[in-house]
Structure 1
Amino acid sequence: MQEKPAKVATAAPASFINAQSAITGLRGRDLLSTLRNVAAQGLRHPIRSARHALTLGSQLGRVVLLGETLYPHNPKDARFADPTWRLNPLYRRGLQVYLGCQHQVRQWIDDSDLSTEDRARAHFLFTLINDALAPSNTLFNPQAVKELFNSGGTSLIKGLSHMADDLLHNNGLPSQTTKDAFEVGRSVATTAGAVVFRNDMFELIQYRPMSEKQFSRPVLIVPPQINKFYIFDLSPANSFVQYALKNGLQTFVISWRNPDVRHREWGLSSYVGATEHAMNVCRAITAAREVNLVGACAGGADHCRVAGSLAGQAPDPPRGQCNLHGQPAGQSDRKPCHVVYRRGNA
């Protein structure tokens, strides 16, 4: 370790990075396309569909009329953790009907002639539909009913108030926190630092040391492009940045710009080049030959490609250790969201 100067001011977020975080999601037309394929499958094979419908009807008859429990639910499913779902005959029947429909739809999709990719898309689509139609999402949820009586009806009033507020101010999506609960520089991203480099794609922040001595090799944090740099600096109690600083690491972080239509030409190579540029700035500031990299999610994907690029340019690249957070090393196992994307959509 060696002594390093600590003449760094408190960071001020750039105005161009204050835009709303980028949101990734599923395109409605892809889901509708999958739904059309499933509907066409049912029309082309009516006998097969009727056979599954008769099987479902027979099983639901045993559930509703005889009170049989044919479908065990996942004990880890928090939606149905309340014992009322098992002990109350009415709730138990409702849960069994829900699980029975879910089971039979899965069986029907598995028996269909859909291609492997379309079958995976159909399973994903009906998982979304099943989750939306879960009996736990209704006002008759036993936990909601108990709270209604315990609160003298105020829980219902609060719930309706929250729903109205979400419809008016949150695009109809259920809010998970108060928007004014977090403020950059006050309740999040409170670690002292300064913007030491800025271009059209990113800002580079260097944090003020929190130890008497620092390692000569700096650490560059590469956050995902769809999130903010301060996911690594949420609060003093759970700040990765402060942990690194207190352990003598010179710490830098990239703050990506939220792109708009003007930046539509930015691609993977653009972000890989930007990460390499940030590494060079870190080396110039610290006089270190190598830079350690910490990457999360898409940021980890970038720095993996940077590592490969540098390794191809020189036998001894100026890169130290690489640390990945939530970043799969391969993409052969396609995750649920990936199956709905069709070729050419990206």
Structure 2
Amino acid sequence: MDKPYGEEKTQSPTPDFEALSHNVAKFIEGAGKAAAAYLKPVQEGKTLSEPPADASEAIKSLSRVAEVWMTDPQKSLEAQTRLGTQFMNLWASTLKRAQGEPVEPVAEPEPKDNRFKDPEWSENPIFDFLKQAYLISSRWAEDLVENAEGLDERTRHKAQFYLKQLSSALSPSNFLLTNPELIRETLRENGANLVRGVTMLAEDIEAGGGELKIRQSDPSNFRIGVNIANTPGKVIFRNDLIELIQYAPTTEKVLKRPLLIVPPWINKFYILDLNPEKSFIRWAVAQGLTVFCISWVNPAEQHAEKGFEHYMRDGIFSALEAIEQATGEKKVTAIGYCVGGTLLATTLAYMAAKRDKRIDSATLFTAQVDFTHAGDLKVFADEQEVQSLEASMKKRGYLEGSRMANAFNMLRPTDLIWPYVVNVYMKGKAPLPFDLLYWNADSTRMPAANHAYYLRNCYLENKLAQGEMELAGVKLDLKKVKVPIFNLATKEDHIAPARSVFVGSKAFGGPVHYVLAGSGHIAGVVNPPSKPKYQFWTGGAVEGELEDWVKQATETAGSWWPYWFEWIKAQAPKMVAAREPGGGKLEALCDAPGTYVLAKS
């Protein structure tokens, strides 16, 4: 039975008021330093980055939802009555609890919602009321957006996205005076936690050049090439867009057909080489594959005009030519991850038109070719947003890496933004070293021409799937792509939704093997056999709807990596003696992971 109102199970400590006063003064001093870090670019004559159009877009989208409801007074009244009834129920429940009666909560958090895990959110009637009031209000607002009749789907999608940002930001767990854990921590430490937090806040604003670069991991524990991205190999080719890494073999025999990995340029390639236990690259080498991986340059002003054609010619085609010189092999199997997969598919369509058969099969990791159901990132890709972005990129020649990093964080604000705001800047706890989040923060810039082409042709106009995309004067038709394709999607992907990848599988003209892995865009891919966390599903032909495919699919526990390797091996099982990097016509230029990966944004 709940305790009477006011009788708490968790007692807050009594502070040392002298120490508290001292720390409040230090906190104010730290806040001044944070403000100075924010204003420093202006004082140095630099302009702050242009603010994104998110606020105005949010207002427009949510205002449109309000207009829909207000045009029907009866439905508007019903909606307000539903909210009022829930709050009346909450008031009644709170009063009963104050009188010592057992009550059931009116609203409860989802099981995976970690914001309200502290026992005091339920034990203390005040905080329990705040929690339930927040859940009632946010869910009511979500229902309004979902059930707004006559609202076009694009506006609904944008309203849902911005409402998620707003409701995540307004959670009582994010504020000192409405979070029991923060109050308890502040009293226990006499405010020292706030001093540590504001110090890190100032450091992170300065590191972001006047913008907050949220601290998600401790970067001091990682050194690229030492304890991360450290699979042995050599850079065997370099131009102004790529370094090509060939990894050292660990088996006496290898498959004759080499493997080329085309990673996304939105982030750095070492997501596939985080550490020895998680490294897909190291594992692939151990299976007897001769692995080559592109490391994209972190572009600057001089790369402004590098577009999709350059990334195809100076990226994939240059890599194919280098692989032939290094191994003597004219044909490869290729992997494309995320936007690297979109580029690979685009390149395959171009090669099909030119009867170029150097890529004998392809694997796509969470990559889209049809952007009809492209998920929340489509929020940033309407005509007005793209025009604004193009104008901004034209001034610098590239898109700042922080812009894309912030966009990805906004896809999951309750996981990737606010927990770090609370833990780092309010609790004053430095985050633990985490290789995945270190990689996530190691963002890259994007050339203006490349990014504009990608947004317009893929997200905005969906030209690749419709057979209307042109590249280097060639109209691209994915139906002409006949090579076998292993198309990996992940079940909880917010960037390349499983449904989007499934629909895209139908665009190719050859055999497509669709595989659905558990988890999301990163964890679903980086799921090594030595420490498998998730499962995967395999099934028949890509027909009908994804839901129907899943119902008849076979679920397998563990990593999909061995399953993929058997698919690779079955296509070209011939083995040859292992090849050492630099052993062919191309001499090694430097050790892996090379120099391009070291450049910071």
Cα offset for 1:335?
0.4
Q: What is the RMSD of the two structures over their aligned residues, measured on CA atoms?
A: 2.9
**Sequence identity (%):** 31
* Separation in structure 1 between the aligned mates of residue 369 and residue 64 of structure 2, nearest angstrom: 37
Q: 1:36 aligns with which of 60, 64, 69?
A: 60
Structure 1 window deviating more from structure 2 (233-242 vs 28-37): it is: 28-37
Cα offset for 1:317?
1.6
Change in CA separation of 1:70 and 1:340 when aligned onto 2, cut-off 3 Å: farther
Please say if residues 341 and 364 of structure 2, whose CA atoms lie closer than 8 Å, have aligned partners that are also in contact: yes
Cα offset for 1:217?
1.4
C-alpha distance after superposition, 1:195-224 (max 9, x if no partner): 221222211112222222222211111110
Residue type of the alignment partner of 1:71: A
Structure 1 window deviating more from structure 2 (39-48 vs 297-306): it is: 39-48
Structure 1 window deviating more from structure 2 (242-251 vs 80-89): it is: 80-89
> Partner residue of 2:240?
200
Change in CA separation of 1:271 and 1:287 when aligned onto 2, cut-off 3 Å: same
Q: 2:91 aligns with which of 53, 59, 64?
A: 64
> Partner residue of 2:173?
136
Length-normalised TM-score, structure 1: 0.81
* Separation in structure 2 between the aligned mates of residue 29 and residue 196 of structure 1, nearest angstrom: 43
> Partner residue of 1:251?
291
> Partner residue of 2:204?
166
Length-normalised TM-score, structure 2: 0.48
Residue type of the alignment partner of 1:213: K
Please say if residues 34 and 118 of structure 1, whose CA atoms lie closer than 8 Å, have aligned partners that are also in contact: no
* Separation in structure 2 between the aligned mates of residue 162 and residue 112 of structure 1, nearest angstrom: 46
Q: 2:131 aligns with which of 92, 95, 108?
A: 95
Please say if residues 49 and 108 of structure 1, whose CA atoms lie closer than 8 Å, have aligned partners that are also in contact: no
Task: Structure 1 unaligned segments of length 5 or more: list them.
Answer: 1-25
SS of equivalent to 1:204: strand
Structure with the greater relative contact order (CA < 8 A, sep ≥ 6): 1 or 2? 1
SS of equivalent to 1:191: coil
> Partner residue of 2:522?
none
> Partner residue of 2:318?
277
Structure 1 window deviating more from structure 2 (66-75 vs 93-102): it is: 66-75
C-alpha distance after superposition, 1:128-151 (max 9, x if no partner): 010111112123434445555666
Where do 1:115-130 residues align within 5 Å? Answer: 115-130=152-167
Cα offset for 1:253?
0.9
> Partner residue of 2:267?
227
Report whether the alignment pairs 1:291 with 2:332. Answer: yes
SS of equivalent to 2:217: coil
SS of equivalent to 1:294: strand
C-alpha distance after superposition, 1:22-48 (max 9, x if no partner): xxxx97225413413433664683746
SS of equivalent to 1:236: coil
Task: Structure 2 unaligned segments of length 5 or more: list them.
Answer: 1-49, 95-103, 387-454, 456-601
* Separation in structure 2 between the aligned mates of residue 201 and residue 302 of structure 1, nearest angstrom: 14
Cα offset for 1:54?
5.1
Residue-pair matches, total: 320
Q: 1:180 aligns with which of 211, 220, 233?
A: 220
Structure 1 window deviating more from structure 2 (69-78 vs 279-288): it is: 69-78
SS of equivalent to 2:294: strand
Q: 1:191 aligns with which of 201, 221, 231?
A: 231
C-alpha distance after superposition, 1:72-109 (max 9, x if no partner): 32112122233433333222211111111112222333
SS of equivalent to 1:183: coil
* Separation in structure 1 between the aligned mates of residue 367 and residue 117 of structure 2, nearest angstrom: 32
* Separation in structure 2 between the aligned mates of residue 74 and residue 129 of structure 1, nearest angstrom: 18
Where do 1:8-27 residues align within 5 Å? Answer: none
